[in-house]
């Protein structure tokens, strides 16, 4: 069970209560501009109407909402306590994106061993602040809280370790900062939220990208000379907004057969279902499969249109190529971003490739038939995309 708070009788009436809980914890009542409020209100209303929460799931969902709101509050508090944090521009960040489950995490963590990069560690996404010295992390209350929350989540859903293991000290996705604006696809992922989903799909995430930019400036303010390495699959749906805040970004887009990638994603998301909701697992899985297929097909189509306006800004990495010859792919990435691979770094890269730490917690197994869809149905909305990047592997 996630460490957290007693849920209110109704979520839609708990907007002020959520703020009061955060203020009591942090001692600060500034949440920044009010752009987050419409999304938070719709989310709370959806939480009363859409999911069939279990008792534990209801408490967990409420705790997630309050913790994310607290993260926003602490980010604003830390910005006010760090004058000049936004004085330096973020120069040519390297940003990994692509349909989820196309190898973005493995690639991100592999590149992150290069100490010339800085990234967003999981615990700092929960509580944005200027990144403290590494040796002090275990002594921070927020670091220990993040560790405890991750362990509680894996205890509740053990299969998530194999599917997508996270650690407090490792780099993670910047979407965890963007969801502090409460206009985020993540709020459609953990429990049934079609009411929020319908609202979210009609919104712009422009304010979320502005918040992300400021949070990155804040977290990196003690390391202004280090180049940023970021990752978020959701950026393929918003490359226009990404380039608006990071105009000189170097983007790496990963690609994989969508019938495999989207099925893997749905399998990952569904692992929390027994914890969060009661019943309807089969129906929810089938609905989610069709929703995620449509969402990511739309995202890759939009990405292609935006990329045409930013020639030379995106490098393509096909999942099968990365698995067949990862070092060749890494070399092409370093050439693309204009950096060398020092002789001291190459052995560390090769060692991590050989060790495959992403498999240390077991193998994530899934089958598209479990979600009432065939591979052909999953691929159909992606037909042009699959042909463009030759994503059909032999025997599929």
Q: Give per-residue pLDDT as tens, 271-310.
A: 877 889 998 888 989 999 999 999 999 999 999 999 999 9
Distance CA 207, CA 218 (A): 17
Residue 277 lies in a domain: yes
pLDDT score at 238: 97
Least Cα distance to 7 among 36, 48, 38, 40 occurs for 48
Q: Alpha carbon 86 to chain centroid distance?
A: 23
pLDDT score at 366: 83
pLDDT score at 152: 74
Q: How do residues 22-40 score in pLDDT, each as one tens digit?
A: 999 999 999 999 999 999 9
Q: Higher-confidence residue: 306 or 159?
A: 306
pLDDT score at 282: 87
Residue 13 lies in a domain: no
Distance CA 308, CA 223 (A): 33
Segment 172-182 shows an average pLDDT of: 96
pLDDT score at 213: 98
CB contact at 8 A, 230 and 96? yes
Residue 3 lies in a domain: no
Residue 36 lies in a domain: no
Q: How do residues 299-309 score in pLDDT, each as one tens digit?
A: 999 999 999 99
pLDDT score at 58: 95
Question: Please, what is the average pLDDT of the chain?
Answer: 92
pLDDT score at 163: 46
Residue 153 has pLDDT above 80, yes or no: no
pLDDT score at 1: 37
Residue 134 lies in a domain: yes
Residue the block writes with tokens 């409020």: 37
Q: Which of helix, strand or coil describes residue 118?
A: strand
Residue 393 has pLDDT above 80, yes or no: no
| Exposure class string for 96-114: b at 16+ Cβ within 10 A, else e | bbbbbbbbbbbbbbbbbeb
pLDDT score at 5: 86
Of 68-77, 186-195, 203-212, where does mean pLDDT reach its minimum? 186-195
Residues 6+ apart with CB under 8 A from 142: 123, 126, 127
pLDDT score at 273: 79
pLDDT score at 206: 98
Indicate the pLDDT class of residue 2, thresholds 50, 70 and 90: very low
pLDDT score at 35: 97
Q: How do residues 106-132 score in pLDDT, each as one tens digit?
A: 999 999 999 999 999 999 998 899 999
pLDDT score at 165: 59
Q: What CATH number is associated with residue 255?
A: 3.40.50.300
DSSP letter assigned to residue 116: T
Residue 361 has pLDDT above 70, yes or no: no
Q: Kindly report the CA angle at 209 between 215 and 7, in degrees rounded to 5?
A: 75
* DSSP states of 192-257: --HHHHHHHTTS--HHHHHHHHHHHHHHTTT-TTSEEEEE-GGGGG-HHHHHHH-TT-EEEEEE--
Residue 14 lies in a domain: no
Between helix 258-270 and helix 281-307 the angle, nearest 10°, is 130
Distance CA 303, CA 269 (A): 24
CB contact at 8 A, 85 and 224? no
pLDDT score at 150: 66
Residue the block writes with tokens 């429990």: 191
Residue 116 lies in a domain: yes
Tokens of 213: 């930019």
CB contact at 8 A, 219 and 129? yes
Around 387, how many Cα atoms within 13 Å sit in the side-chain half-sphere?
Answer: 5
Residue 161 has pLDDT above 70, yes or no: no
Q: How do residues 329-341 score in pLDDT, each as one tens digit?
A: 999 999 999 999 9
Tokens of 136: 């002090």
Residue the block writes with tokens 């929460």: 53
List the domain range (segments joined by +) for residue 251: 90-389
pLDDT score at 263: 96
- Residue % of the chain over a pLDDT of 90: 79
* DSSP states of 129-171: -SPPPGGGGGG-HHHHHHHHHHHHHHHH-THHHHHH---TTSB
Indicate the pLDDT class of residue 394, thresholds 50, 70 and 90: low
Q: Kindly report the CA angle at 82 between 79 and 88, in degrees rounded to 5?
A: 90
Q: How many domains does the chain have?
A: 1
pLDDT score at 362: 63
């Amino acid at each position: 069970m996630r460490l957290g708070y007693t849920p209110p009788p109704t979520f839609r009436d708990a907007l002020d209560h959520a703020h009061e809980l955060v203020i009591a914890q942090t001692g600060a009542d500034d949440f920044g501009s009010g752009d987050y409020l419409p999304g938070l209100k719709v989310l709370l209303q959806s939480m009363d109407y859409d999911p069939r929460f279990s008792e534990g799931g209801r408490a967990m969902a409420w705790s997630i909402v309050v913790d994310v709101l607290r993260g926003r509050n602490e980010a604003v508090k830390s910005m006010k306590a760090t004058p000049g944090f936004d004085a330096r521009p973020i120069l040519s960040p390297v940003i990994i994106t692509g349909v989820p489950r196309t190898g973005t995490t493995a690639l991100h963590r592999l590149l992150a061993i290069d100490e010339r990069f800085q990234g967003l560690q999981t615990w700092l996404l929960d509580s944005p602040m200027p990144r403290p010295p590494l040796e002090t992390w275990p002594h921070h209350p927020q670091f220990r809280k993040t560790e405890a929350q991750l362990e509680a989540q894996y205890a509740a859903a053990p299969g998530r370790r194999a599917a997508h293991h996270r650690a407090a000290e490792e780099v993670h996705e910047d979407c965890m900062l963007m969801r502090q604006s409460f206009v985020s696809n993540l709020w459609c992922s953990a429990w049934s939220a079609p009411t929020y989903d319908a609202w979210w799909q009609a919104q712009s995430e422009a304010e979320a990208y502005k918040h992300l930019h400021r949070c990155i400036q804040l977290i990196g303010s003690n390391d202004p000379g280090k180049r940023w390495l970021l990752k978020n699959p959701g950026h393929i749906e918003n490359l226009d907004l990404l380039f608006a805040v990071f105009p000189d970004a170097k983007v790496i887009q990963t690609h994989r057969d969508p019938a495999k990638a989207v099925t893997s994603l749905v399998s990952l998301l569904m692992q929390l279902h027994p914890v969060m909701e009661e019943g309807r697992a089969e129906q929810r899985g089938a609905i989610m499969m069709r929703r995620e297929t449509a969402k990511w097909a739309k995202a890759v189509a939009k990405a292609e249109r935006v990329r045409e306006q930013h020639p030379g800004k995106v490098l393509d990495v096909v999942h099968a190529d990365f698995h067949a010859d990862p070092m060749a792919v890494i070399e092409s990435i370093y050439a693309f971003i204009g950096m060398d691979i020092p002789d001291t770094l190459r052995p560390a890269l090769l060692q991590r490739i050989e060790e495959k730490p992403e498999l240390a917690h077991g193998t994530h197994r899934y089958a598209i038939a479990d979600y009432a869809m065939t591979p052909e149905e999953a691929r159909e909305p992606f037909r042009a995309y699959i042909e463009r990047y030759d994503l059909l592997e032999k025997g599929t």
